[in-house]
Structure 1
């Protein structure tokens, strides 16, 4: 019973901070310090919003994850978006903070080298709907704990990778693999990549797990890997599609 209570206390401390989280507040302050040359007040206001939000936490308010066991909660929290920030924090961000973080991200993108942000800016101009569906800035902000400098780099890196995988012709086309016409030129995937996906060797389950994470299914009896080294691009496209979808 004592060990159980200690585990509960540790979980409570991790997910339900009684006071502002110094490490995250410090990270936000550091990020805003870097942005002071262009927007000296935005970072300070974001940090104040964060502190006020965290100050309202108490032991009677718990996230939906509280209903799970401590082990399952810790495992899910480590996996969500690939970071270790409190799950609850991502669920209670003020609208004011989100607006400033999104503006900070755009300001940070504008200060990146042209070669680093060119693919992203092309997507903004040529494929805004695809950008909104695949890479909404808010997703990258959450994944970096609302550090908009890191989010800007990650967002641009995503589109650089998309350009590398699909080439200049397909980089800004939609990721569709099951159209009636597999030879259609309006999609990013090549016919060869579509064929790999249609074998059913890789697929995503229709229902996510209890924490909302997608489940990747692999059928080892089906051929999903290309043998020819010239088909590495095809394999890369198929994997990119599965991970994105």
Structure 2
């Protein structure tokens, strides 16, 4: 029997990077995975990888900043598969700039996509979880929650994720729902590649600099985060809730 046999998972922002790695891993360990991204077309590549490996996945378009779109995604999961057992809130964007340069639109976009979306998706998914008296919620925070130059919007949103996590564990624990977060450091993804290029470096140069500042001597891979998420979504972590796990190779 696989770790997640009979479980249905929703993973947002799962077209690439950490979200895609997490969706593939949950499916490989037995879960049926609803692969959410801004459009279903964007999510198809991850679903194809899941099905090629013998798993079950469904691509769903969802704007996580829009409550109706979020409700539709959860309804689709329930109608197609009968439950929502695991929720991974991974969708996120960056719009980096120094405080004095940052426009209101970039602040609003990051707060809406990286923080308000978690409120919306948790609110929708909690309904069937409470009814079933079972659920695992894992949300993506970040090392940047501790502060990072040029990321006042992103840092604020990711710190807020930790506050949501600590609060929802108290509200939902009585219903056998675990709520945790992971806070990755430098993970080699398309998003961090874009950050490198924005500040004038090739991605490989930026990764080399980051690895030299990391005690473990390398940057992270999406699979490093996916492994931790899968653990927190499993019965092995049934007494862990309200926590934020930093996955950063030892960076302080």
Q: Same fold (TM over 0.5)?
A: no
Rg larger in 1 or in 2? 1
Q: Which has the higher strand share?
A: 2
TM-score band by shorter chain is under 0.3
Q: What is the TM-score normalised by the length of structure 1?
A: 0.24
Q: What is the TM-score normalised by the length of structure 2?
A: 0.24
